[in-house]
Structure 1
Amino acid sequence: MSFPAALHTEWIKIRSLRSLVGSLLAVPLAMAGLSLLICGTLGRPVPDSTDFDPVLFSYYGLSFGQLAAIVFGVIAMAGEYKNAGIRISLAAVPNRTLFYAAKLAVVGGAVLVVGLVASLISFLGGQALMDRGFGIGIADPGALRAVIGCALYLALISLLAAGVAAVLRSVTGSLSVLVPLVLIISFVVGDVSQGGGAADFLPDRAGQRILLQHPSGALGPWSGMAVLVAWTALAVGAGWWALRRRDA
């Protein structure tokens, strides 16, 4: 089977399964919805705040959007192992590397598209809803970078999730690893805007540096994204090894 044909097969799977369609649509709905709600309700930084970032503020709902992206990536990959469905997939695409590459391309591409939509709505709508004098435009420093970077961040997170799912072969097991890693641990160690320390090299903390208008600390916006790419490459590589070496 050719790579375009494998891509088409994977796309059919995604748009045919309600769990995948629902988790994919939840990315822009959860992220943009909460971001607009917070920006419209608060509209300004907390009094006496010294670390207010207007760009990051408009992405308040990112945590919920990335959770949906993680669930999408996990279900897309680990769902293949439910009821031995992976055997049917590999019968259609015997080349496991081709199958894995097509799966990742569709997962990452789908999240990249919906992530860009969510990012644009969150930024443009959030800045418009903020009180006069606090919002900025997309031409201001760091704004366009954040809009594009948010979509890249969500796509990479979904690929990282798919890689972990390929290793663990379980939706529950994968989520039990990923949710604490990208949500709970970072919440415990502190806010992304503070910067400093080894916690900055966690995948979510590093990737979210691109959402800061004027980042400071050891990692800049693109070096932080490079750290996330490294995490994603490690997970994807481990998933490829597991798929190639283990029995279906």
Structure 2
Amino acid sequence: MSFPAVLHAEWIKVRSLRSLVGSLTTVFLATAGLTVLVCATLGRPEPDSTDFDPVLFSYYGLNFGQLAALTFGAIAMAAEYKNGGIRVSLGAVPDRGLFYGAKLAVICGLVFSVGLVTSLTSFLSGQALMDKGFGIGIGDPGALQAVVGCACYLALLSLLAAGLAALLRSVTGAMSVLVPLFLIVPFVVGDVSQGGGAADFMPDRAGRQILLLHPEGPLGAWSGMAVLAAWSGTAVVAGWWALRRRDA
């Protein structure tokens, strides 16, 4: 089969599973919806706030939207291993590299597309709802970078989840690693290191540097994104190793 044909087949799989469509929808609703709610309610930083970032404030809901992106990547990959479905897929596409590459391309492409719409909606609505004098425009320095960077961030998270799901062959196994990695480990590492240096290289904190108007710490906007890409690349390679070496 040609690569476009395999891509089309993977697209059909995604749109046929309600859980995948629901995960993608949740990426938008959670990120943009919560951002609108918070910005409309608060509108400005607290009086004693000294580190207010108008760009990051527009992505308040990303804390929840990123979990939906991780879930989408894990389900899209691990669903192949449910009830022996991987045998059917590899029977139709015996070239495992072609199969794996097409699946990852569909996962990444869909999340990036949804993430771009989500990011632009969150930014524009968030800035519009802030009190006068606190928001910035899409043409201001750092704004457009954050919009595109947020989409890249979500896409890389989906690849991280997909690679881990291919390695573990389980949605539950992948999420049992990813949820603590994003919600618990960075705080533990930050407390242990006392300076937070090691925690800055965790995938979420590194990737989110691009959402800061003035990034702080050892990583900049795109160097932080490169660290996240390294995490995702490692997971993808590990998943490919598992798919190539193990029996279906």
Instruction: Report if TM-score (shorter chain) is over 0.5.
Output: yes
Q: TM-score, normalised by structure 1?
A: 0.96
Q: CA deviation at 1:176?
A: 0.3
Is 2:31 the partner of 1:37?
A: no
Separation in structure 2 between the aligned mates of residue 242 and residue 99 of structure 1, nearest angstrom: 14
Instruction: Give the letter aligned to residue 105 of structure 2.
Output: A
Indicate the residue corresponding to 2:228 in structure 1: 228
Q: CA deviation at 1:111?
A: 0.2
Is 2:123 the partner of 1:131?
A: no
Q: TM-score, normalised by structure 2?
A: 0.96
Is 2:3 the partner of 1:3?
A: yes
Instruction: Give the letter aligned to residue 48 of structure 2.
Output: D
Separation in structure 1 between the aligned mates of residue 244 and residue 95 of structure 2, nearest angstrom: 9
8 Å CA contact 2:36–2:129 kept in 1: the answer is: yes
Indicate the residue corresponding to 2:118 in structure 1: 118
8 Å CA contact 1:196–1:218 kept in 2: the answer is: no
Separation in structure 2 between the aligned mates of residue 217 and residue 184 of structure 1, nearest angstrom: 20
8 Å CA contact 1:77–1:162 kept in 2: the answer is: yes
What CA deviation, in whole Å up to 9, does each residue of 1:121-162 have, x standing for no partner? 100000000111111111111111000000000000000000
Separation in structure 1 between the aligned mates of residue 89 and residue 143 of structure 2, nearest angstrom: 42
Kindly report which structure 2 residues correspond to 1:1-248, keeping only aligned pairs within 5 A, or say none. Answer: 1-186=1-186, 196-248=196-248
Instruction: Give the letter aligned to residue 120 of structure 1.
Output: L
Unaligned runs of at least 5 residues, structure 1: none
Instruction: Give the letter aligned to residue 202 of structure 1.
Output: M
Q: CA deviation at 1:46?
A: 1.4
Instruction: Give the letter aligned to residue 131 of structure 2.
Output: D
Check 1:201–1:64 CA distance in 2 against 1; reply closer, same or farther (3 A cut): same
Q: CA deviation at 1:189?
A: 5.7
Q: CA deviation at 1:185?
A: 2.5
| Structure 1, 70-79 or 177-186: larger mean CA deviation | 177-186
What CA deviation, in whole Å up to 9, does each residue of 1:83-126 have, x standing for no partner? 01100000011000100000000000000000001000100000
Per the alignment, in what secondary structure is the counterpart of residue 7 of structure 2?
helix
Separation in structure 2 between the aligned mates of residue 2 and residue 39 of structure 1, nearest angstrom: 47
RMSD (Å) for aligned C-alpha atoms: 1.2
Query: Which runs of 4 or more aligned residues in structure 1 lie more than 2 Å from their structure 2 counterparts after TM superposition?
Result: 183-190
Separation in structure 1 between the aligned mates of residue 88 and residue 41 of structure 2, nearest angstrom: 50
Q: CA deviation at 1:63?
A: 1.2
Separation in structure 1 between the aligned mates of residue 241 and residue 230 of structure 2, nearest angstrom: 16
8 Å CA contact 1:28–1:114 kept in 2: the answer is: yes
Q: CA deviation at 1:25?
A: 1.1
Check 1:53–1:188 CA distance in 2 against 1; reply closer, same or farther (3 A cut): farther
Q: CA deviation at 1:184?
A: 2.6
Separation in structure 1 between the aligned mates of residue 63 and residue 6 of structure 2, nearest angstrom: 32
Question: Percent of aligned pairs with the same residue?
Answer: 77
Separation in structure 1 between the aligned mates of residue 37 and residue 24 of structure 2, nearest angstrom: 21
Unaligned runs of at least 5 residues, structure 2: none
Instruction: Give the letter aligned to residue 164 of structure 1.
Output: L
Separation in structure 1 between the aligned mates of residue 31 and residue 37 of structure 2, nearest angstrom: 10
8 Å CA contact 1:14–1:21 kept in 2: the answer is: yes
8 Å CA contact 1:93–1:99 kept in 2: the answer is: yes
